[in-house]
Amino acid sequence: MTAKSDGSILYLDGVTVSFDGFRALNSLSLILERGEMRAIIGPNGAGKTTMMDVITGKTRPDSGTVLFNGSIDLTKLDEAATAQLGIGRKFQKPTVFESQTVRDNLELALAGRRGVFASLFHRKTAGEKARIDEILEIVRMTDRQKTLAAYLSHGQKQWLEIGMLLAQEPEVLLVDEPAAGMTDAETEQTGILLREIARTKSVVVVEHDMGFVKGLGVKVTVLHEGSVLSEGSFDHVSADPRVIEVYLGR
């Protein structure tokens, strides 16, 4: 496609979404390079969640371009298709399958064929078992693998969901408020985990916790009223007077 989209894993240009006259996204443009980790911050209603909805195909933009891998038009695809392409998403409110065990949750997320009949006649392979064990190890839930997800604490659910993201083996991870409801120690662990992941994947992190964002030490994009207000290093944006105005001025 265009030169700008070359080499990018996610390319958003002029994306506009409105709900009944309210503009959730206003000509938003954003480029995520392959292997890049990006933090996105912004006040309530800045359009962070809507942006993720657009990328994952949940919401169709009124106008604008959304490209994956520089060529695949994401606006034509639905959630399942984007997920199969390799875009993984973690929700703000941890959503795990509560009536299934931790292990089953990971099994469901595990990369593989998603068809009805494929799953009907699916047989667990040794490789899959090993992969699940590995992820359980990473998210430190090996001892809780038989527990129903409903019995997990809030933080544990967050970790399980990150584990599910890993199991999905996506190319891009969209992570919405991974540290919400976590203790300081857990938050720190989460940060370490994310940076670990970012070594091989592209990651977009939406977060409110400034300390957490600072700790990530990556390029930060500030959204405000549906478009990019400021972009750059954490120190750069936190010094930007417009950002200060938006965060403190109201």
Closest Cα to residue 46, out of 233, 244, 214, 228?
228
Footprint on residues 51-70 left by another protein (CB under 8 A): 53, 56, 58
Is residue 39 close enough to count as binding another protein by CB under 8 A? no
Is residue 247 close enough to count as binding another protein by CB under 8 A? no
Is residue 164 close enough to count as binding another protein by CB under 8 A? yes
Is residue 206 close enough to count as binding another protein by CB under 8 A? no
Is residue 184 close enough to count as binding another protein by CB under 8 A? no
Distance between CA atoms of 205 and 173, rounded to whole angstroms?
8
Distance between CA atoms of 141 and 131, rounded to whole angstroms?
14
Q: Which is nearer to another protein, 36 or 53 (CB)?
A: 53
Which token pair is 220? Answer: 């930060």
Total residues contacting another protein (rule CB under 8 A)?
A: 51
Is residue 6 close enough to count as binding another protein by CB under 8 A? no
User: Residue from 45, 64, 70, 232 that binds another protein (CB under 8 A)?
Assistant: 45
Footprint on residues 65-124 left by another protein (CB under 8 A): 78-80, 83-84, 88-89, 91-93, 95-101, 104, 107-109, 114-116, 119-124
Q: Which is nearer to another protein, 5 or 168 (CB)?
A: 168
Is residue 36 close enough to count as binding another protein by CB under 8 A? no
Is residue 180 close enough to count as binding another protein by CB under 8 A? yes
CB of 128 to another protein, least distance (A): 10
| Residues lying near another protein in the complex (CB under 8 A) | 19-20, 22, 24, 44-45, 49-50, 53, 56, 58, 78-80, 83-84, 88-89, 91-93, 95-101, 104, 107-109, 114-116, 119-124, 148, 150-151, 154, 164, 168, 177, 180-181, 208
